[in-house]
């Protein structure tokens, strides 16, 4: 077997990214969509860390930032979800259709 | 020099009489009115005699100088407020005084105006004895005497104009004395209005003189004119004299302003005698004679005066040939004789013209008063067709009028012969062929004069009686108050001419000699002009009394006798159905003459607008009507049009505002936005995952772009996106249409 190179990391990250995107696009439950978004973000993190091995510590520092950002975003997203749930009693994303013509 | 120093009393006496009548007349007895009004005029006459007598003394010690006394300054001040600038730039002060001038010219006028005036006042006491408004009549007559005396005694043009206006006013008041009669009041209006037209000319002439000479006083103007400073033919003097002559035409009834005089016969007969025969109508002649120094400097004006005089003479005489009202014949006769006077003045024979005024006053007043006596005898009948065979019944009237008729026809040794003949001789002997033509016109007029005057006599006094029996029974001679003045005037008509017995017949022509100081200079200038022209043409100088003069005398007497004879044949035996010879010979000519050449009708068309052509007026009134039409149609049309345009513009603006501004420009973008939003808002599906899908597709495309990946790669990823789209769509539709 070849040694684990950067490419392997990138492929894994890409796969995770794609899975995350598919989840965002396809899942009905808003909570699952939020989880998929986390998945996307973590995939990006992987990418960053993989490249930091080559190009320096900038990648890892940026990954810390992204993690913090993801956490904040999840909090806000869940807050929106809870506010929406209080109004509409559902977590089905198909029911989030008020802002349309 | 009592009378001369107190000459201002002469006009004041009749003014006093008029004032008495104005304030107290209504309450006075007829006898008191007589005493006051007739008395003041007789006093004025005596006073005038005294003044002229003393003037002759004055003239001896001051040869050639007129007597002038200034009572007070009427117009003009010492403060310089009435200063103006003359034509040649010199400053002058406008001054007109109440001053009186007595020289031979005004002396003659003074004597016959007061004399004939006094006789007519006495006559009126008899004539108006049975009429109403007795005191009013005498008040107006006295007012007239005052105005006329102011006119002739004034020493400047302004005071003369006061008198001029005054006599015009009195003429109006007296013509319209029987104001209840429509014809009388209309005639009075006509007289005053036509007179006024002349007054406008007089005023303009007066202003021109003031502007050109710097003074209005006769002495100063004459002195300036005679000084040789002005060239003969000076255009401004010509203009001034022509304007003054317009005034004379109005007052003295020349063409074209004579039309008022025949209508003026509506007034009582003494009025016609005094105002329209002897005195007022001679005011124009007096004014021209007074301004002789100016007229001599303007040969054009002189020619105009002569031509108009001659034309008027023959024109009026021709109308007088066929009139049937006794007073109308005399009125046209007056116009004609006035034409003679202006003819004389126009050819430079000033003293001849004044002489004719003098003699004419007597015989014309006599004719009018006589006709008044006839009318009185005929119980008011004035139409000669209804008279006849009166000579035995009113003998005094008949004989006095006969004497006057001889006088006016110009038969020697009566008065008219000397004056008329002098005029004709002067006309003939003036330089230029045109003057021979004027002589000829005068000659024919003399023939006509004799004819119509003897026609008047024969129709009135001879022939068969043509009046109704009622009137015939009442025929009586007039009272003494009327016949005595007739006799006195008849004596004057015989003798007055002898004052001007010409040199050619052995006389000394005292009349012309008396007037020498006034006219001599002019006569000399005029004759010198004539003589130089004559010598230049190479002809021989005329002798002092040439045989031509005798020949002309013979001719004019012959004309008078022929006229007498023609009238004798036509009218001596006139019976009820007598035929006018002119009507028999040439009926259209008779119609034209009888209708006075349709001049009044012509004036109605041209000036008064009383007759229309179709529906519109001509002349001045027509201009007024046209202006009115123009104003109401064109000017008001423009105004209305402007209004219409503004309203139309408003409507247009309204439309613009409503459709373009509001609908197009305001609502338009709004509608555009709305319409554009229809497709745009379709972007807002409301599907969260749909939005996410779009983001992803864009992201992928961008990545491909940045990385330079091929289209296949993009499409393969894109097919996954399509799957996702399909899945989401299914899910949406199931949600929508299930349950």
B595-640: pLDDT as tens digits: 888 888 888 777 777 777 777 777 777 788 888 888 888 888 899 9
| For residues B713-721, average pLDDT | 76
Nearest CA in chain B to A23: B689
Tokens of B600: 């009044």
Residue B422 has pLDDT above 60, yes or no: yes
Residue B80 has pLDDT above 70, yes or no: no
Contacts of A99 in chain B (CB under 8 A): 684, 686
Q: Locate tokens 């007969």: which residue? A: B269
Residue B729 has pLDDT above 50, yes or no: yes
Residue B710 has pLDDT above 80, yes or no: no
- Among B96-105, B471-480, B509-518, whose mean pLDDT is lowest? B509-518
Closest CA–CA distance from residue A29 to any residue of chain B (Å) = 11
pLDDT at B543: 41
The H or E element spanning position A24 is helix A6-26
* Interface contacts A/B by beta carbons within 8 Å: 37
| For residues B173-186, average pLDDT | 92
Hey, of B689, B707, B731, B736, which one would you mutate to test binding to chain A, going by the most A CBs within 10 A of its CB? B689
Does residue B182 or residue B422 have the better pLDDT?
A: B182
| For residues B194-218, average pLDDT | 91
pLDDT at A19: 93
Residues 74-93 of A with CB under 8 A from B: 93
Contacts of B693 in chain A (CB under 8 A): 25
User: Which residues, 6+ apart, have CB-to-CB distance to B362 below 8 Å?
Assistant: B112, B116, B278, B407, B415, B489, B492, B493, B496
Dist. CA B406–CA B593, nearest whole Å: 24
Q: Do B689 and A93 touch (CB under 8 A)?
A: yes
| For residues B275-294, average pLDDT | 87
pLDDT at B531: 52
CATH fit for domain A29-101, picks 1.10.3210.10, 1.10.287.3510, 2.40.440.10, 3.40.50.2300: 1.10.287.3510
pLDDT at B524: 56
Nearest CA in chain A to B731: A94
Q: How many residues are given for chain A?
A: 101
| For residues B113-131, average pLDDT | 90
Tokens of B154: 């004034």
pLDDT at B139: 92
Closest CA–CA distance from residue B729 to any residue of chain A (Å) = 11
Dist. CA B100–CA B68, nearest whole Å: 6
Nearest CA in chain B to A25: B689
Q: Do B682 and A101 touch (CB under 8 A)?
A: yes
pLDDT at B574: 72
pLDDT digits (tens, 9 = 90+) for B33-63: 888 889 999 999 999 999 988 888 888 887 7
* Nearest beta carbon to residue B724 from set A26, A33, A100: A26
pLDDT at B566: 87
pLDDT at B536: 42
- Among B494-508, B521-535, B612-626, whose mean pLDDT is lowest? B521-535
Contacts of A25 in chain B (CB under 8 A): 689, 692-693, 696, 724, 728
| For residues B480-495, average pLDDT | 87
* Nearest beta carbon to residue A101 from set B681, B687, B692: B681
Over pLDDT 90: what percentage of chain B?
31
Q: Do B685 and A96 touch (CB under 8 A)?
A: no
Closest CA–CA distance from residue B681 to any residue of chain A (Å) = 6
Q: Locate tokens 């010219």: which residue? A: B105
Contacts of A97 in chain B (CB under 8 A): 685-687
User: Which residues, 6+ apart, have CB-to-CB distance to B535 below 8 Å?
Assistant: B541
- Among B492-506, B559-573, B670-684, whose mean pLDDT is lowest? B492-506
Pairing of strands B67-75, B96-102: antiparallel
Q: Collect all residues from B whose CB is shorter than 8 A from any CB in A.
A: 681-682, 684-689, 692-693, 696, 724, 727-728, 731-732, 735
Residue B544 has pLDDT above 60, yes or no: no
Confidence band, pLDDT 50/70/90 cuts, at residue B421 = confident
Hey, of B685, B688, B700, which one would you mutate to test binding to chain A, going by the most A CBs within 10 A of its CB? B688
pLDDT at B520: 65
Residue B291 per-residue DSSP state: T
Residue B699 per-residue DSSP state: H
pLDDT at B681: 80
Nearest CA in chain A to B677: A101
Q: How many residues are given for chain B?
A: 739
pLDDT digits (tens, 9 = 90+) for B399-414: 999 999 999 998 888 8
Q: Which of B292, B298, B111 is nearest to B218 (CA)?
A: B292
- Among A91-95, B122-126, B157-161, B428-432, whose mean pLDDT is lowest? B428-432
pLDDT at B539: 39
Q: What is the pTM of this model?
A: 0.74
Confidence band, pLDDT 50/70/90 cuts, at residue A38 = very high
Q: Do B687 and A24 touch (CB under 8 A)?
A: no
The DSSP bridge partners found for residue B617 are B612
pLDDT digits (tens, 9 = 90+) for B323-368: 889 999 999 999 999 999 999 999 888 888 889 999 999 989 999 9
The SS3 call for residue B418 is helix
Nearest CA in chain B to A93: B688
- Among A10-19, B311-320, B663-672, whose mean pLDDT is lowest? B663-672
Closest CA–CA distance from residue A60 to any residue of chain B (Å) = 23
Residue B214 per-residue DSSP state: S
Residue B689 has pLDDT above 90, yes or no: no
Q: Locate tokens 């109005």: which residue? A: B250
Q: Do B684 and A97 touch (CB under 8 A)?
A: no
Mean pLDDT of the residues in chain B? 85
Q: Is B576 exposed, middle or buried (0-12, 13-18, 19+ CB in 10 A)?
A: exposed
């Amino acid at each position: 077997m070849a040694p684990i190179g950067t490419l392997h990391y990138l492929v894994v990250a890409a796969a995770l990214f794609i899975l995350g995107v598919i989840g965002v696009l396809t899942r009905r439950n808003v909570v699952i969509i939020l989880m998929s978004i986390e998945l996307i973000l973590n995939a990006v993190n992987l990418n960053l860390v993989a490249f930091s091995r080559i190009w320096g510590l900038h990648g890892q520092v940026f990954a810390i930032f992204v993690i913090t950002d993801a956490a904040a975003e999840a909090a806000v997203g869940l807050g929106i979800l809870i506010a929406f749930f209080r109004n509409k009693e559902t977590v089905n994303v198909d029911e989030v259709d008020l802002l349309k013509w | 020099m009592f009378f001369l120093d107190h000459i201002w009393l002469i006009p004041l006496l009749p003014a006093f009489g008029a004032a008495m009548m104005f304030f107290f007349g209504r309450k006075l007895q007829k006898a008191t009115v007589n005493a006051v009004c007739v008395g003041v005029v007789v006093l004025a006459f005596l006073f005038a005699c005294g003044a002229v007598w003393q003037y002759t003394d004055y003239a001896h010690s001051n040869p050639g100088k007129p007597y002038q006394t200034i009572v007070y300054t009427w117009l003009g001040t010492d403060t310089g407020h009435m200063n103006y600038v003359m034509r040649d730039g010199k400053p002058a002060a406008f001054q007109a005084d109440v001053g009186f001038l007595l020289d031979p010219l005004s002396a003659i006028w003074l004597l016959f105006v007061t004399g004939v005036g006094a006789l007519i006042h006495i006559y009126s006491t008899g004539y108006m004895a049975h009429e109403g408004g007795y005191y009013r009549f005498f008040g107006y007559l006295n007012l007239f005497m005052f105005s006329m005396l102011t006119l002739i005694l004034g020493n400047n043009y302004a005071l003369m104009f006061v008198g001029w206006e005054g006599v015009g006013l009195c003429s109006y008041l007296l013509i319209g004395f029987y104001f209840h009669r429509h014809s009388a009041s209309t005639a009075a209006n006509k007289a005053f209005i036509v007179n006024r037209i002349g007054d406008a000319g007089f005023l303009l002439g007066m202003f021109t003189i003031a502007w050109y000479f710097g003074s209005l006083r006769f002495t100063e103007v004459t002195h300036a004119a005679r000084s040789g400073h002005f060239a003969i033919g000076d255009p401004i003097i010509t203009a001034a004299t022509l304007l003054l002559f317009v005034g004379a035409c109005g007052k003295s009834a020349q063409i074209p302003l004579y039309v008022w005089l025949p209508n003026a016969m509506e007034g009582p007969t003494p009025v016609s005698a005094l105002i329209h025969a002897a005195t007022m109508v001679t005011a124009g002649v007096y004014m021209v004679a007074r301004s002789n120094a100016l007229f001599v400097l303007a040969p054009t004006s002189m020619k105009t005066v002569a031509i108009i005089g001659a034309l008027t003479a023959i024109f009026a005489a021709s109308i007088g040939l066929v009139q049937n009202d006794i007073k109308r014949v005399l009125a046209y006769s007056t116009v004609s004789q006035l034409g003679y006077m202006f003819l004389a003045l126009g050819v430079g024979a000033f003293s001849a013209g004044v002489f004719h005024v003098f003699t004419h006053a007597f015989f014309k007043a006599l004719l009018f008063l006589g006709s008044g006596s006839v009318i009185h005898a005929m119980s008011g009948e004035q139409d000669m067709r209804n008279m006849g065979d009166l000579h035995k019944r009113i003998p005094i009237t008949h004989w006095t009028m006969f004497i006057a008729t001889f006088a006016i026809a110009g038969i020697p040794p009566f008065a008219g012969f000397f004056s008329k003949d002098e005029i004709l001789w002067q006309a003939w002997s003036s330089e230029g062929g045109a003057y021979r033509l004027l002589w000829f016109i005068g000659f024919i007029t003399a023939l006509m004069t004799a004819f119509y005057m003897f026609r008047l006599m024969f129709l009135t006094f001879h022939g068969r009686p043509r009046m109704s029996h009622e009137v015939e029974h009442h025929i009586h001679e007039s009272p003494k108050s009327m016949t005595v003045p007739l006799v006195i005037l008849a004596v004057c008509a015989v003798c007055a001419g002898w004052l001007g017995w010409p040199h050619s017949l052995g006389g000394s022509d005292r009349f012309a000699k008396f007037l020498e100081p006034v006219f001599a200079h002019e006569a000399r200038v005029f004759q010198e002009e004539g003589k130089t022209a004559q010598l230049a043409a190479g002809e021989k100088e005329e002798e002092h009394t040439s045989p031509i003069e005798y020949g002309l005398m013979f001719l004019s007497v012959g004309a008078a006798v022929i006229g007498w004879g023609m009238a004798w044949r036509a009218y001596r035996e006139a019976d009820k159905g007598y035929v006018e010879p002119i009507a028999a010979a040439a009926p259209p000519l008779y119609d034209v003459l009888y209708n006075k050449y349709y001049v009044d009708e012509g004036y109605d068309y041209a000036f008064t607008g009383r007759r229309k052509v179709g529906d519109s007026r001509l002349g001045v009134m027509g201009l007024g009507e046209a202006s009115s039409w123009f104003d109401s149609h064109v000017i008001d049309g423009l105004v209305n049009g402007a209004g219409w345009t503004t309203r139309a513009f408003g409507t247009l603006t309204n439309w613009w505002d409503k459709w373009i501004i509001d609908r197009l420009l305001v609502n338009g973008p709004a509608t555009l936005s709305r319409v554009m939003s229809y497709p745009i808002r379709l972007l807002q599906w409301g599907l969260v995952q749909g939005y996410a899908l779009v983001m992803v597709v864009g992201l992928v495309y961008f990545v491909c772009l940045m990385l330079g990946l091929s289209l296949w790669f993009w499409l393969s990823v894109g097919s996954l996106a399509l799957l996702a789209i399909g899945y989401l769509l299914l899910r949406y539709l199931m949600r929508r249409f299930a349950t």
